[in-house]
């Protein structure tokens, strides 16, 4: 799995440079965030190995949270052509993530 941890300083640049990818906003003490990481792992393992996954810890990078207009975690963003193509707050299963990514 191709993973990148982003910060307040570089998230905008990375998002803009991403053709297709996922961005998860999370925090450490958050069981639902951990769950979404597992869901993403399964999604990637099911034929999406080339999709890069970016992570932002919102406690360490609060500006990214406001910059992306996110209020809660976990929030998953689907990035297509350098822009946010879809946003989903909360939990989903790998199948739902597959549909979200495909339709975005």
Partner 1 sequence: MKPLKTFDLLILGGGPAGMAAAIYAAQANMRTALVESNICGGLVNSTYVVENFPSQKCIPGMDLAQRILEQTESLGVTVDQAADVTRLALTGSMKEIETEEFLYTSPALILATGRQPVPMDIDTHDCKQVHFCSICDGAAYRGKNVLVIGGGNSGFNEAYYLHSLGVKKIHLVEKMDHFPALQAAQDKLLSRDDGVTAMTSTVVVELIQQDKLMAVKLRNTATGEIHHVPVDGIFVYMGQLPNNRLFADIVALDSDGYVITNDDMETNMPGVFAAGDIRSKKYRQITTAVADGTIAALSAGNFLRNKKM
Interactions with partner 1, residue window 37-76 (CB under 8 A): 38-39, 41-42, 46, 59, 71-73
The verdict on 93 binding partner 1 (CB under 8 A) reads: yes
Residue 27 and residue 33 in contact, taking contact as beta carbons nearer than 8 Å:
yes
Question: Would you state the structure tokens that stand for residue 85, as one six-digit string?
Answer: 């193509």
Q: What is the DSSP letter of 31?
A: H
The residue within the footprint of partner 1, chosen from 9, 10, 95, 99 (CB under 8 A), is 95
- Closer to partner 1 at the Cβ: 1 or 17? 1
Q: What is the DSSP letter of 32?
A: H
- Closer to partner 1 at the Cβ: 73 or 79? 73
User: Site for partner 1 (CB under 8 A): how many residues?
Assistant: 22
* E strands in the chain: 3-5, 20-26, 53-57, 75-80, 83-89
CA distance 61 to 59: 5
Residue 25 and residue 70 in contact, taking contact as beta carbons nearer than 8 Å:
yes
Report, in Å, the least distance between residue 37 CB and partner 1.
9
**Binding track over 4-43 against partner 1, x by CB under 8 A:** -----------------------x-xxxxxxx--xx-xx-
């Amino acid at each position: 799995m191709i993973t990148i941890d982003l910060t307040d300083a570089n998230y905008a640049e990375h998002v803009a440079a991403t053709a297709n990818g996922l961005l998860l906003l999370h925090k450490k003490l958050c069981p639902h965030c951990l769950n979404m990481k597992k869901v993403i792992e399964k999604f990637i393992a099911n034929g999406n190995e080339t999709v890069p996954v970016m992570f932002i810890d919102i406690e360490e990078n609060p500006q990214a949270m406001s910059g992306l207009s996110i209020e809660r975690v976990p929030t998953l963003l689907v990035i297509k052509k350098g822009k946010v193509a879809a946003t989903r707050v909360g939990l989903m299963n790998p199948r739902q993530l597959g549909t979200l990514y495909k339709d975005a």
